[in-house]
A and B are shown apart, each in its own frame.
Chain A
Amino acid sequence: MTVLVALALLAAFSGGVFLLGRRRAVRLAGGAPASLHSLPGYHGAWVALWAGAPAALILFAFAVFGGRMEDAALRAQAPAAISQLSEQRQEVFWSDARAEARGETSSEVRWEGDLGAAMAAKVSEARQITAYGRIAALALAGVLALVGFLLAFPRLSKDFRARNRVEGWTGVLLIACSTVAVLTTLGIVLSLLWESLRFFQAVSPLEFLLGTSWDPQIAMRADQVASSGAFGAVPLFAGTFLIMLIGMAVAAPVGLFSAIYLSEYAGPAMRATVKPLLEVLAGVPTVVYGFFAALTVGPTFRAFFNWIGSFLVGGPMDALGQYLETVQNQMALTAGVVMGIMLIPFVSSLSDDIINAVPQSLRDGSYAMGATKSETVKRVILPAALPGVVGALMLAVSRAIGETMIVTMAAGLQAKMTANPLDTVTTVTVQIVTLLTGDQEFDSPKTLAAFGLGLTLFVVTLALNVFALAIVRKYREQYD
């Protein structure tokens, strides 16, 4: 809040400085504006930038990193009383001290005796640090704004190259914005790697990648027996793969045939109506597909299989019938089919682009030889478009693997290694959600496992994307 007010004041100050600088430039020109190197606005903008930008950076850095610095300052001197506490308890102590100082709700732990005194001391220290930090940041920003203005303003003159300087600032801003994308990637990679490394200290990577038993226990207390759990992720990979396979079995044929029909057979009127409708399907949020899967598709499938089972019971296929009667809502088939529906527009629009990129001369050549349309599609267009179509399908696979909401709402939680689409399976993304949405401390292997899974997911989807994009790009170059 303080930072927002300070930023508003700063903006007002910069605005005033801008007007001052511009007026000064007009005066310098003395009635002959053409004698200025730069337009008066650039003079104003340059002064305003010097007055505003460094101070704004300081305020921004304070808003982002201030909390961390306060925390570090507070922890610099740990009271003797808490040294006997376990590491987790110490964390609770510190977070309580900060929450108390800010007037937020703290944990329900009661700190008594020595600890109570230490807590009271730390709370008042935290309040002090916050107050000093705020004053220091505001003062620094104010000084920077004034100094910037005082240094920049006297330098304005007729020949001053204000435009070039302002454009230099603009260039820096543009480059800074572009690097955010790189920083995001770095942030993803580093945070996943960092937390995963901590996870792999507790669980060996081999056990994680090759183990066949997934059972992350909830460690209620640190000293609890059997709190380790089993972290073999193979059943999750198997479940993810099964659901992806079912999804692609729906999306690939339907999406590809729609794309072929739309680009080779359909007239302009049909294209104009069907393509936007497919785009609507693509724009539906995944949580909506999840709702559809959980409350419509799942119960329908279950009723259907139970119904078939009721015919088979007592007959020659009694065992199968018995099994079908026990099928539940949360089966791999439900999640897979709905995921396939979600992927149809994705596959069809990508394939449509690729099929349209095949040059007309190839089609004309084929027709001239007397081939029918379908023969042209099968023998000429598809072979020419094959690498691109494969790339599109790989992008769809990567989507299917990373999709979260449909499987969270429609697939189950039981980690099983099965190829039976009527069985309950769980996926990597479901487990990430389950591990991280409960209430537990952040450092347990259980929550860290989510980052291990996230890293695996990131690496696999990244590899698929890089490979697919490379194929698609290489293919496009052939005809351009």
Chain B
Amino acid sequence: MTDIAAARLKKRHAAETRFRVYGRTAIIIALSFLALLMGRIGMQGYSTFTTNTVSLSVYLDPARIDAGDLEGSNFDYVVALALLKKMGETDDDYGTNASEAMDLVSRDLGFQILNRLKAEPGLLGKTITVTGPMKANADLYYKGQLKRETAQADRRLNNHQLDWLDRLKADGDVKSGFNVAFFTHADSTEPEQAGILGAVMGSAMMLLVTALIAVPMGVLAAVWLEEFAPKNRWTDIIEVNINNLAAVPSIVYGLLGLAVFINWLGAPRGAPLTGGMVLALMALPTIIIATRSALKAVPPSIREAALGVGASRTQTVFHHVLPQAMPGVMTGTILSLAHALGETAPLLMIGMIAFNPGIPEGFTSSASVLPVQVFIWENASERAFHERTAAAIIVLLVFMIAMNAAAVILRRRFERRW
């Protein structure tokens, strides 16, 4: 080998190595984005799954609680006084101490007292113990996300309040535990009482509507296109049309829903029914495409055997071909429903952005769904809502990963290679 050739070869090998490094770098970049995304959301969200609850002995002072007008009494103030008493302080003339105390303990305790008094009016004048969540900022302090080192003006709680919190913790009145409320409450304006149950129920109802409409319709349409349709210009148009529908931006489906379902047909705004219908139209093309490829994978010999023993074409398809294609159909369907579960933009168009402090009552009443809840909480200014947003995302991702895993398992378990 001459020197020139050796030098050229070296250069070529160097180029080869460089190229390989580019490829590896690209994959590392892509995977580190994934790790960063998941890691950040996990870091921001995991702390929501624990919460701090406080137990207070509250004296139900008849002077402050009007037995005739329980709803009108200020129970938050009663709770605040109980906290002050515990700290060995009293309220001043301006109510500064009491309002500082109110900033620490959730209003949930006041509601608990109200409900207990309603059930048992005889408690008035006695001392009872109530247990409930801390306010979001106090909770963040216990979790170390609100730090004493931050300058007092830059944080939501002052030194005085932090001293109280430290004493409560030291006395063992505050306990940390699993955040049950996050999974059993619906949305709320108070971060510590806001939960995702309403959104999870809304998502489930909407997905049910989507599945009931899109799955039978998509499968039957695919069966016709793949097994029965003549090859002519009309079926070509339908086919091109379906491929293009699959790539239409989701927000356009939202505009369709707004113009046709809500303004023209008078469907209820922001209801699981309307949202489910919009998402069904969106999921339809992908279900059709997946079903068609599953049907294509069934070998012609199956059809010929069925026709050979005297089955009609319809019987052939519904008794033999479709059952054989079912695993593929299910996989495609679950994947497209998982996609629908995470969809947000079209739902904003049909008014699913309202604040819903309860579990949805029915398919035609206003509801929120998980991805929209994420969007709403992300827009909230309070820091504690950001923590909850990340936690809601974790729940959403768990549902999506479960659905995707189900699809993969179905594919692995039942897929047949002919």
Chain A contacts to B: CB under 8 angstroms: 64-65, 67-68, 71, 163-164, 167, 170-171, 173-175, 177-182, 184-185, 187-188, 191-192, 194-195, 253-258, 260-262, 265, 274, 276-281, 283-292, 294-296, 341, 344-345, 348, 372-375, 377-378, 395, 398-399, 401-405, 408-409, 429, 432-433, 436-437, 442, 450-451, 454, 457-458, 461-462, 465-466, 469
Across the interface, do A466 and B244 meet the contact criterion of CB distance under 8 Å? yes
Across the interface, do A253 and B371 meet the contact criterion of CB distance under 8 Å? no
User: Does B34 have its Cβ within 8 Å of any Cβ on chain A?
Assistant: yes
Give the complex CA separation of A279 and B331 in angstroms.
Answer: 15
Across the interface, do B27 and A187 meet the contact criterion of CB distance under 8 Å? no
User: Does B367 have its Cβ within 8 Å of any Cβ on chain A?
Assistant: no
Give B314's nearest chain A residue, CB to CB: A167
Across the interface, do B266 and A68 meet the contact criterion of CB distance under 8 Å? yes
Give B288's nearest chain A residue, CB to CB: A181
Across the interface, do A341 and B33 meet the contact criterion of CB distance under 8 Å? yes
B206 to chain A, nearest CB (A): 14
Across the interface, do A174 and B19 meet the contact criterion of CB distance under 8 Å? no
B360 to chain A, nearest CB (A): 16
Across the interface, do B249 and A404 meet the contact criterion of CB distance under 8 Å? yes
Give the complex CA separation of A182 and B250 in angstroms.
Answer: 17
- 6 closest residue pairs by CB, A with B: A402-B249, A285-B342, A261-B23, A257-B26, A374-B19, A174-B224
User: Does B389 have its Cβ within 8 Å of any Cβ on chain A?
Assistant: yes
Give the complex CA separation of A171 and B223 in angstroms.
Answer: 10
Residues of B within 8 Å of A436, CB to CB, are 258, 348-349
| Chain B 371-409 near chain A by CB (<8 Å), digits 1 or 0 | 110110010000000100110010011001100100010
Give the complex CA separation of A432 and B348 in angstroms.
Answer: 10
CB within 8 A of B259: which of A195, A280, A399? A195
Residues of A within 8 Å of B238, CB to CB, are 178-179, 181-182
Across the interface, do A344 and B33 meet the contact criterion of CB distance under 8 Å? yes
Residues of B within 8 Å of A404, CB to CB, are 249-251, 344-345
Across the interface, do A288 and B397 meet the contact criterion of CB distance under 8 Å? yes
| Chain B 9-36 near chain A by CB (<8 Å), digits 1 or 0 | 0001101101110111111011101101
Residues of A within 8 Å of B23, CB to CB, are 257-258, 260-261, 265
**Which DSSP category, helix, strand, loop or mixed, fits chain A's interface?**
helix
Give B343's nearest chain A residue, CB to CB: A285
User: Does B157 have its Cβ within 8 Å of any Cβ on chain A?
Assistant: no
Give A253's nearest chain B residue, CB to CB: B26
A180-B284, A187-B260 known; A429-B249 Cβ under 8 A: yes
Give the complex CA separation of A163 and B311 in angstroms.
Answer: 11
A93 to chain B, nearest CB (A): 16
A160 to chain B, nearest CB (A): 16
Q: Which of B37-45, B101-109, B141-149, B180-188 is found at the contact surface with chain A?
A: B37-45
Across the interface, do B16 and A171 meet the contact criterion of CB distance under 8 Å? no
Other contacts beyond A257-B22, A283-B342: 7, CB < 8 A? A177-B220, A181-B238, A274-B31, A292-B40, A292-B41, A461-B252, A462-B244
B105 to chain A, nearest CB (A): 28
Across the interface, do B30 and A265 meet the contact criterion of CB distance under 8 Å? no
Residues of B within 8 Å of A167, CB to CB, are 312-314
Residues of B within 8 Å of A175, CB to CB, are 224
Give the complex CA separation of A194 and B240 in angstroms.
Answer: 24
A454-B252, A457-B249 known; A254-B30 Cβ under 8 A: yes
Give the complex CA separation of A395 and B246 in angstroms.
Answer: 11
Residues of B within 8 Å of A451, CB to CB, are 255, 259
How big is the B interface, by class? 35 or more
Give the complex CA separation of A398 and B258 in angstroms.
Answer: 23
Across the interface, do B371 and A177 meet the contact criterion of CB distance under 8 Å? no
Across the interface, do A287 and B374 meet the contact criterion of CB distance under 8 Å? yes
Give A185's nearest chain B residue, CB to CB: B241
Chain B contacts to A: CB under 8 angstroms: 12-13, 15-16, 18-20, 22-27, 29-31, 33-34, 36-37, 40-41, 44, 216-218, 220-221, 223-225, 228-229, 237-238, 240-245, 247-253, 255-256, 258-260, 263-266, 281, 284-285, 288, 312-314, 338-339, 341-345, 348-349, 351, 353, 371-372, 374-375, 378, 386, 389-390, 393, 396-397, 400-401, 404, 408
Across the interface, do A374 and B20 meet the contact criterion of CB distance under 8 Å? yes
Give B372's nearest chain A residue, CB to CB: A287
Give the complex CA separation of A167 and B228 in angstroms.
Answer: 12
Give B219's nearest chain A residue, CB to CB: A177
A180-B221, A375-B12 known; A194-B348 Cβ under 8 A: no
Give the complex CA separation of A164 and B248 in angstroms.
Answer: 39
Residues of B within 8 Å of A344, CB to CB, are 30, 33
Give A276's nearest chain B residue, CB to CB: B408
Across the interface, do A461 and B247 meet the contact criterion of CB distance under 8 Å? yes
CB within 8 A of B284: which of A184, A261, A466? A184
Across the interface, do A281 and B34 meet the contact criterion of CB distance under 8 Å? yes
B256 to chain A, nearest CB (A): 5
Give B264's nearest chain A residue, CB to CB: A68
Across the interface, do B247 and A437 meet the contact criterion of CB distance under 8 Å? no
Give the complex CA separation of A265 and B26 in angstroms.
Answer: 13
A65-B265, A374-B15 known; A285-B396 Cβ under 8 A: yes
Across the interface, do A287 and B265 meet the contact criterion of CB distance under 8 Å? no
Pick 21 A–B contacts, CB within 8 A, sort by A: A167-B314, A174-B221, A175-B224, A181-B241, A187-B256, A188-B253, A258-B23, A277-B34, A286-B342, A286-B345, A290-B375, A292-B37, A348-B30, A372-B13, A401-B249, A402-B248, A404-B249, A404-B345, A433-B348, A466-B240, A469-B243
Give the complex CA separation of A64 and B277 in angstroms.
Answer: 12
Across the interface, do B259 and A177 meet the contact criterion of CB distance under 8 Å? no
Across the interface, do B223 and A174 meet the contact criterion of CB distance under 8 Å? yes
Across the interface, do A454 and B251 meet the contact criterion of CB distance under 8 Å? yes
Residues of B within 8 Å of A341, CB to CB, are 33, 37
Give the complex CA separation of A409 and B259 in angstroms.
Answer: 24
Give the complex CA separation of A286 and B339 in angstroms.
Answer: 10
Residues of A within 8 Å of B243, CB to CB, are 465, 469
Give A166's nearest chain B residue, CB to CB: B314
Give the complex CA separation of A195 and B255 in angstroms.
Answer: 10
Across the interface, do A461 and B249 meet the contact criterion of CB distance under 8 Å? yes
Residues of A within 8 Å of B264, CB to CB, are 68, 191
Residues of A within 8 Å of B237, CB to CB, are 182
Give A274's nearest chain B residue, CB to CB: B27
A181-B285, A274-B27 known; A454-B389 Cβ under 8 A: no
Residues of B within 8 Å of A191, CB to CB, are 255-256, 259-260, 264
A193 to chain B, nearest CB (A): 10
A181-B242, A372-B13, A404-B345 known; A261-B27 Cβ under 8 A: yes
Residue from B33, B217, B240, B342 with most neighbouring chain A CB atoms (10 Å): B33
